[in-house]
Amino acid sequence: MDGLQTAVSDGTAAANRPIAAMLAEFACGLDDRAVPDRVMERARLHILDCIGIALASTGYEFGQRTIDAMRGLAGEGPSPVIGTDIRLPMRDAALVNGTLIHGLDYDDTHSDGVVHASVSALSAALAQGFASGATGRDLLAAYLVGVEASSRIGQAAQGGFHLRGHHPTGLVGAFGAALTAARLAGLSEREAAMAQGIALSMAAGSLEFLSDGAWTKRIHPGWAAVAGITAAALAGGGFQGPSAPYEGRYGLYNLHLGAGHDARLDMATAALGEVWELENVAFKPYPACHFNHAFADAALALRREHGLRPEDVDSITGYLADAQANVVCRPEETKKRPQNSYDAQFSMHYTIAAALKHGRFTLDEIDGQAISDPEVLALAERVDFAIDPDSAFPRYYSGEIRVRTRDGRELRHRESVNRGSDANPLSAEDIAAKFRDNAARAVAPERVERIYEAVMTLDRAPDLKELDAALSTG
């Protein structure tokens, strides 16, 4: 029991009210007219980014297999699946759309919370919003509620979920999705608090996929959306959940952090409605684990500035935080010789090698043929890692590369702040270009522009009919 007490040792005085009650008050009471215009614009850009990735995912085996499985399970329903003419029951659509958005590991991340912030909230918002007759602003506000909650809940763990083998997106996404669904369903504050308590028994996500490149991570945020929608429906029907699902004796942090890693419970509700954590959610410039992005940029910088090519390299060492190394560097035999695209996306070694050879890191660098490139694999064998005592993790996913060349030079490049984050942002034009590139892999140019317009005018949309029509291929 000592571990249970340690995990929330600083939380006893965090608040007089349960965290769930404070988050519920925010979720149900948020006046969308009080949300700054810049935050609403940012929300539209994140939604645009997610939809573009989902469209690209429809062309991949994991996307098609997920769609087929859910169609076979429950048949047709009212909720659209992004980029298809298929409609599924609400929760099944949330699972599929969440998998499509997250499946390429190209979706945004709240760096400090180490959580893919948008995907569960948006998947729940789309499913519940289409079913409830929401307006565009209703959808935006509900999405924002989910992002603000899940980002803070993840932030309070201070990077500790990964150390215990949990995937934070699956864990905390369920709570954000519950609040998103609760708002759209018109639940009371008490019911929204109960929904979070119910979600505690559904929230899950294991990092075991890292052992063999399994597909399970892809479904984590979709399942979190399902859990959130289900929890909100149960709470709205009068079902009772625990009142302290975060700080309780067997709450989220005590169960999933354990001894020796304190949760900062005050962070879970800090400055709600004053500081917008959406502005700290980083867009991804590369389709790989966010922990690898600094290394892709560092490799590309060395290639650009020094003309570095694979044949020039004797050895490379990447420097990063230990928690990051657990995900993208260990075990090295897997990371140096990825067996599938997911292995490659979660390999620092492969990311550096592929970026150095090709001068880019795109979806083309993680297809089946690319990951078997003998020159890239030979270079990945010459990549090692070391722990960086000056890492900015988890606030930023910094990384440094040191290269020894075959002619005796020693080169280095450090990325202190990962590109796409609040301190090193992508522009709106960059995000739109990423959307168009991803969407064009699945739909015709005129459809790409129709989706763009539907998303970027959501704040003025009286309903979701145009978004629905734009997302459908029927």
pLDDT for 396-434, tens place per residue? 999 999 999 999 999 999 999 999 999 999 999 999 999
d(CA 247, CA 411): 47
- Which residues, 6+ apart, have CB-to-CB distance to 257 below 8 Å? 7, 157, 160, 161, 164, 263
Question: What residues are paired with 424 via a beta bridge?
Answer: 421
313-320/383-387 β-pairing:
parallel
| Tens digit of each residue's pLDDT (9 = 90 or more) over 41-57 | 999 999 999 999 999 99
DSSP tag of 267: G
- Mean per-residue pLDDT over the chain, rounded: 95
- 335 and 348 Cβ atoms separated by less than 8 Å: yes
What confidence tier does 8 reach under pLDDT thresholds 50, 70, 90? low
Domains of the chain: 2-282 (1.10.4100.10), 290-415 (3.30.1330.120)
Q: Tokens 């369903």 belong to which residue?
A: 185
Q: How many residues does the chain have?
A: 474
Nearest of 340, 342, 346, 373 to residue 357 by alpha carbon: 373
The yes-or-no verdict on residue 13 having pLDDT over 60 is no
354: helix, strand or coil: helix
| Tens digit of each residue's pLDDT (9 = 90 or more) over 430-450 | 999 999 999 999 999 999 999
What confidence tier does 458 reach under pLDDT thresholds 50, 70, 90? very high
Q: What is the pLDDT of residue 357?
A: 98
Q: What is the pLDDT of residue 119?
A: 99
